[in-house]
Amino acid sequence: MPPRPLSPRLFRIPLPNTPRCIRHRSSSSLDPSEVQHFNQLASEWWDPHGSSRLLHLMNPLRLRFIESCLRSSPVTEPPDSPASTPEIARSRTNRRFLDVGCGGGILAESLARLPTTESVLAIDPTPGVLDIAKAHMRTDPALKRKLQYRASTIEDVLEEEMFDVVTTMEVVEHVTSPFPFLQSCLTHVRPGGWLIGSTIARHPVSYITTKLIAEDVMRIVPRGTHDWNKYVNAGELEGFFAGEREVVECRVLGCVYVPGFGWREVRGSERVGNYFFGVRKR
């Protein structure tokens, strides 16, 4: 295992959209110093040249991946749904999203702006972060009717609340137990719907790129953002979902950030770095 870089606890600044504070109810106590760091970061969240620039740049790729998953869905609506005829279902324009670990709302806002979206519920357990999200939402009159923020963990979402798509971007690598967390997310996906997320593979290459280069050398990601040991491999995710009876499909797609060119989808790179995963429910 490579040595951990020097990153004094005091100077750790978590990356936006990385609610490291997401815990299961049994261990949901929030670290006050991390809350403080989130608040420090808050003013930069929506600065396109601030520390969340990489996430802003990644966002269009997230939407493309989500769209590609939804487009590939066979048309199977719940029988009692008004959109049960294939024609209507195919042009379904009333998608309901749940964004878990929404941070400042980079993904949640853009989902809410899509004409095919009916509503977005975005949750995050850190109040300071949600304040930023809510304040930013007020700058766009188009969001008011579609986007709702809630200070909540996934476990606090009412059992009967179901969504067409549950998203969780750059969250899995920050939670203590990723698989129970994903299981909780999955319970809120309606039958035939999708759980879609992104995370980073645990590989020597990702250690060099996300820790050494991104955090220490180029400093395009705030230091101490990531804990390499918590990264989850695509194979591990696929293995986990293969064991879930209600999952019919699991796909992954790697993406690579090239300074000067931006994010690019690269097949196979899910083994060594950032990747998206999409899981369809039976």
Partner 1 sequence: MPPNHLLRLTALRRLNSTSLRLSQRSYATTPFPEQDIYDVVIVGGGPAGLSLASALRSSSVTNKLKVALIEGQDLGPQKPYKPKPGTFSNRVSSLTPGSVRFLENIGAWKHIQEERVQDYHGMKVWDGVSNAKIIFSSDLLPTAPTIAYMCENLNLVSSLLSRLDELGSTEILDKARVEGIEYGQDDGELDLTSWPVVTVSSGRKLAARLLVGADGANSPVRTFAGIETRGWDYGRHGVVATLRIEDVEQRKQAYQRFLPTGPVALLPLPGDFATMVWSTTPQYAAKLKSLSPTDFAAMANAAFRLSHVDLKYILENMTSGLAEEVSWRESATPRDPALTPTHIVDVQAGSVASFPLKMRHADSYISERIALIGDAAHSVHPLAGQGLNQGIGDVQSLVRTLEHAVQHGQDVGSLLSLEPYYSEQYLKNHMLMGVVDKLHMLYGTTSPPVVAVRSLGLSAVNALDGLKSFIMGRAAGR
Closest separation in Å from C-beta 48 to partner 1: 4
Cβ-Cβ contacts under 8 Å for 236 (sequence gap 6 or more) = none
Q: Kindly write down the DSSP assignment for every residue of 105-119, as one continuous string.
A: THHHHHHHHSTTEEE
Q: Tell me whether residue 101 is annotated as binding.
A: yes
Contacting range for partner 1; rule: CB under 8 A; set: 60-68, 80-88, 154-162, 165-173: 60-68
Using CB under 8 A as the binding rule, the residues of this chain from 72 to 111 that contact partner 1 are 109-111
Q: Tell me whether residue 170 is annotated as binding.
A: yes
Which CB sits closer to partner 1, 140 or 216? 140
- Number of residues interacting with partner 1: please give it, by CB under 8 A: 22
Let me know how long the chain is.
282
Using CB under 8 A as the binding rule, the residues of this chain from 159 to 198 that contact partner 1 are none
Q: Tell me whether residue 159 is annotated as binding.
A: no
Q: Which of 30, 83, 88, 114 binds partner 1 (CB under 8 A)?
A: 114
Measured between alpha carbons, how far is residue 128 from residues 133, 151, 174, 277 in Å?
9, 10, 18, 28
Closest separation in Å from C-beta 243 to partner 1: 34
232 vs 237: CA distance, rounded Å: 7
Closest separation in Å from C-beta 60 to partner 1: 4
Closest separation in Å from C-beta 123 to partner 1: 19
Q: What SS3 state is found at 220? A: coil
Q: Tell me whether residue 137 is annotated as binding.
A: no
Closest separation in Å from C-beta 66 to partner 1: 10
Q: Tell me whether residue 216 is annotated as binding.
A: no
**Direct distance between the N- and C-terminal alpha carbons of the chain, in angstroms, rounded to an integer:** 38
Q: Tell me whether residue 254 is annotated as binding.
A: no
Using CB under 8 A as the binding rule, the residues of this chain from 117 to 156 that contact partner 1 are 135, 138-141, 144
Contacts 24+ apart (CB under 8 A), 22-25: 22/100, 22/101, 22/125, 22/153, 22/154, 22/171, 22/174, 22/175, 22/181, 23/125, 23/153, 23/175, 23/176, 24/153, 24/155, 24/176, 24/177, 24/180, 24/181, 24/184, 25/153, 25/155, 25/156
Q: Which of 3, 27, 49, 267 binds partner 1 (CB under 8 A)?
A: 49
* Binding site, annotated residues for Mg(2+): 170, 173-174
* Binding site, annotated residues: 62, 101, 124, 169-170, 173-174
Binding site for partner 1 (CB under 8 A): 47-49, 56-57, 59-60, 63-64, 109-115, 135, 138-141, 144
